[in-house]
Amino acid sequence: MKIAILAGDGIGPEIVAQAVRVLQALRSDGLKFELEPGLLGGCAVEAAGEPFPEVTRKLVADADAVLLGAVGGPQYDALPRRQRPEQGLLSIRRMLNLFANLRPAILHPELANASTLKPEVVAGLDILIVRELTGDIYFGEPRGIERRDGQRVGYNTMIYSEAEIRRIAHVAFQAARKRNRRLCSVDKMNVLECTQLWRDVVTETAKEYPDVELSHMLVDNAAMQLVRNPRQFDVVVTGNMFGDILSDEASMLTGSIGMLPSASLDDRSKGLYEPIHGSAPDIAGKDVANPLATILSAAMMLRYTFDEEAAAVRIESAVKKVLAGGYRTRDIYEPGTKKVGTAAMGDAVLANI
């Protein structure tokens, strides 16, 4: 088992260091894997002039899984688009065909008061967002900024083929089967043809899953329903852009964006695992970032790529114990709990592994 470790930028190195410590603790217990660090994003631009250098490409191609922190930061915002840190991440997703992005939003009961929503609204929350990750307006052509009739116009293309929709729909229906058998597909079919096709293909695919209850919702309503009554959702399936936005929104129901892990999978077992949040430049280097989303992403790696369910559960149980023990980074802190920094949160998880 070979794991590429791409810490990236901003808080990336701080949070990935804690997840690596947790993995290493499991290694000393008999799990076998090699950890191989590499550069991706702004740090790679600085070292090699591009966000996804050839050596990283090779590292990722040879690895069974990738653990990633986050990329980007304001210091890179003036770079030409192809050199932007985010392009490195988008290139990996595309290169590895990681079309299925699983983003579980689960409220740990101890964090009911950390959410900005009322505890009774979020209590018991357990949603799985299945986000399509290699299509949509993110990758559609044509795209660009150009001059037309004496002024600049900017444009992108929202596009999905039925094969792309069908394969993510299957992932979502199968996930729903293992949960509460309810799937809500989110689109904007009242305005966008691309998502009319989305709705049609998801509806066709549903015929193979008569045991799963399918519903459809327009994305604007879905954004509202997520904060009105989030527990109505079991599995949500949606396109790349809507999934990006709705998952950040859903993360706040769990207390903080620093709690939400993700798995990005192909049609076999190779995967990339990362927190859903970004490089948080505003708190980078201060030892205050919450490493739990990254640590929980490592648990997802053990589950989905390495089929090590017991090891995944060990990490998740350790996180539960740490929260029950009152340890809180700043983003989830409330009076009466113990405020700890990034590394001390890692210590607490290690102590409970």
> Which stretches of the chain bind ligand NAD, using CB under 6 A?
11, 15, 70-73, 86, 89, 257-258, 274, 277-283, 289-290, 293, 331
C-alpha–C-alpha distance, residues 88 and 230, integer Å: 33
Residue 67's binding partner, choosing from Mn ion, ligand NAD, ligand IPM, none, with beta-carbon cut-off 5 to 8 A by kind?
Answer: none
Residue 257's binding partner, choosing from ligand NAD, Mn ion, ligand IPM, none, with beta-carbon cut-off 5 to 8 A by kind?
Answer: ligand NAD
Query: DSSP letter at 228?
Result: H
| Buried/exposed code over 270-294 (b: 16+ C-beta within 10 A; e: otherwise) | bbbbbbbbbbbbebbeebbbbbbbb
Nearer to Mn ion, 132 or 244 (CB): 244
In the complex, least distance from residue 336 CB atom to ligand IPM, rounded to whole angstroms: 32
Q: Is position 327 annotated in a ligand binding site?
A: no
52, 40 Cβ separation under 8 angstroms: yes
Q: Is position 79 annotated in a ligand binding site?
A: yes
Q: Is position 231 annotated in a ligand binding site?
A: no
DSSP letter string over 187-203? E-TTT-HHHHHHHHHHH
Instruction: Give helix 292-304 / helix 342-351 axis angle, nearest 10°.
Output: 40
244, 274, 316, 331: which one binds Mn ion (CB under 5 A): 244
Nearest to 2 by CA among 51, 50, 35, 43: 35
Nearer to Mn ion, 12 or 53 (CB): 12
Nearer to Mn ion, 110 or 244 (CB): 244
89, 168, 289, 332: which one binds ligand IPM (CB under 6 A): 89
86, 249, 266, 287: which one binds ligand IPM (CB under 6 A): 86
Task: Given the residues 2, 58, 155, 220, select the one marked as catalytic.
Answer: 220
Nearer to ligand IPM, 156 or 180 (CB): 156
Residue 244 designated active-site:
yes
Q: Does 234 bind ligand IPM (CB under 6 A)?
A: no
Residue 64's binding partner, choosing from ligand NAD, Mn ion, ligand IPM, none, with beta-carbon cut-off 5 to 8 A by kind?
Answer: none
Instruction: List the structure tokens of 56.
Output: 């990283």
> Which residues contact residue 9 at a Cβ distance below 8 angstroms, ignoring those fewer than 6 apart?
41, 42, 43, 69, 70, 71, 72, 73, 76, 85, 279, 284
Residue 273 designated active-site:
no
Nearest to 104 by CA among 67, 138, 131, 66: 131
Task: Given the residues 244, 273, 304, 331, select the one marked as catalytic.
Answer: 244
Residue 283's binding partner, choosing from Mn ion, ligand NAD, ligand IPM, none, with beta-carbon cut-off 5 to 8 A by kind?
Answer: ligand NAD
Residues recorded for the chain:
353
Q: Does 257 bind ligand IPM (CB under 6 A)?
A: no
CB atoms within 10 A of CB 123: 13
Residues 130, 253, 292, 11, CA torsion sign: positive
Instruction: Return residues touching Mn ion (CB under 5 A).
Output: 244
Active site residues: 138, 188, 220, 244, 248
Binding residues for Mg(2+): 220, 244, 248
